[in-house]
């Protein structure tokens, strides 16, 4: 069994979360498949606004303390995105 450096993955999925949109692009046979890539109209700003509104509804007595900037700070300080590489072999 080799190390992670010895493994060469040819297929994958590239996800870029921007401020206003998220881009998704499949990597097939080691190359980006541009024809199958997609842009979704949900980005970091949409996530922040959703979190802010959800917290305001969840804690109505704290509505004045839950601002968009606090929701953004909470999202970025607590959110952790892990990238996992998974592969399998076909026998």
**Vertex 13, ends 12 and 17: CA angle to 5°?**
155
Residue with tokens 């080691």: 30
**Overall pTM > 0.85:** no
Rounded Cα–Cα distance for residues 55 and 62 (Å) = 9
- Where helices occur in the chain by DSSP H, the ranges are 44-58, 68-78
Rounded Cα–Cα distance for residues 81 and 8 (Å) = 22
31-45 pLDDT per residue, tens = 889 999 999 999 889
48-69 pLDDT per residue, tens = 999 999 999 999 999 889 999 9
């Amino acid at each position: 069994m080799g190390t992670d450096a010895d493994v060469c993955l040819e297929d994958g999925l590239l996800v870029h979360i921007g401020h206003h949109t998220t881009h998704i692009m499949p990597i097939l046979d080691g190359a980006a498949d541009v024809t199958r890539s997609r842009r979704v109209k949900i980005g970091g700003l949409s996530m922040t606004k959703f979190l802010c509104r959800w917290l305001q509804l969840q804690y109505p007595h704290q509505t004045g303390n839950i601002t968009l900037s606090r929701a953004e700070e909470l999202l970025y300080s607590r959110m952790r995105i892990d990238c996992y590489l998974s592969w399998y072999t076909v026998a």
